[in-house]
A and B are shown apart, each in its own frame.
Chain A
Amino acid sequence: MKKITTIAALAGLSFNLLGAPVMASEPQAVYEFYCAQCHGLTGKGDGPNVTKDFPVSPRNFVDAAEMNKLSNADIKNVVLDGGPSAGKSPMMPPWGKTLTEEEVDGLVEYLRVLCACEGKQG
């Protein structure tokens, strides 16, 4: 059932991208513009910045087991304040001065689509 929901969500996002900019496609557009540089367009942590010299492995967003260890609030905090705020690498910069609160909330939802997981609750 969850798979169907995910597929439907992805299909909806793609469909929306075909038309004029609409709110529903925005989180995917935001993800692909900012995050995919390191995390990759499909979320596997394989963006063009991840060369052999890249000092860490960006999180693989399609790894549901790993993504389930994080709550939505955990993800939001790291996006806003950067990796060091959660004891992670500064290679994840703080996006809090770049993205709006709404955009970050949309990103968190989109990452849940990519991992097809709900994350740690509470």
Chain B
Amino acid sequence: MRLKLATAMGVACLALSAPVSHAAPADGQAIFEGKDCVSCHYTDGPAREKTIEDQLAKTGPELWYAGDKFQEEWLVGWLADPQPIRPMKFGSLTEENPADHPALSGDESATVTEFLMSLVSGEVEAGTVKVKKNAKGRQIFTKKMPCSGCHEYAGRKGGVTGGRSGPSLAEAGVRLNPDWILAYLQKPTLFKPVKMMPVFVGLLSDKDMANVASYVGNFKPKK
């Protein structure tokens, strides 16, 4: 009961602190286009990439399923204060992320978030993944099919550990929708048909993919 009350209070505080947008997605789209975000991000699905060359020609991630992928509260904050998610520059194995993503004002970030969160694939089932400390997921993530080879995550001794070619998964639990993580693993050609990550369909069961999504969804800042 005490935990429930504390959680409810926490949520209420967060709701008060995050910018609230009453704008329509179209207002956000107008800002998105006016700021030329479209020069790096496309927002209309389905996925366009068919070859490695197509993927490497992009300068930023596709956002046509942003509403599936991201958590709204995180997105509002990130657009106002964008910090690198990928250690390396998008599409590069040699250049560090220049950390030069443009920032939006607080009001703009809330309005653009309205737009981005309206972009969904219709292919992500909500409420499928239960986020928790997941020993099986951890075993797969770090040993069996080591996602850790390409993705950073919080190390046990503090700081981050793991590979640097993929996006960091440190604190991914506040950024990513765990149901989307599962869908991304299950439907490898739907969201990003050409990617540096292996296809795990046929190698991991749906249950194991859900375990990984559950484990990664639990990557949250230490309190």
A contact set with B: CB distance below 8 Å: 21, 29-30, 32-34, 36-38, 41, 47-51, 53-54, 90-91, 93-95, 97-98
Contacts and interface: CB of A to CB of B under 8 A. Distances in A.
Contacts of B155: 53
B52 A49 contact: no
Interface SS of A by simple majority: loop
B146 interface: yes
Interface bin, chain B = 20 to 34
B143 interface: yes
A34 B53 CA distance: 13
B144 A90 contact: yes
A29 B52 contact: yes
Interface in B140-193: 143-146, 149-150, 155, 161-165
A47 B166 CA distance: 12
B163 A37 contact: yes
Given A47-B165, A95-B198, A97-B202, A33 B52 contact: yes
A57 to B, nearest CB: 13
Contact of A37 (B165, B199, B202): B165
Closest 7 CB pairs of A and B: A49-B163, A37-B165, A97-B199, A48-B164, A98-B199, A53-B161, A33-B52
A48 B166 CA distance: 10
Given A36-B93, A37-B196, A94 B163 contact: no
A38 to B, nearest CB: 7
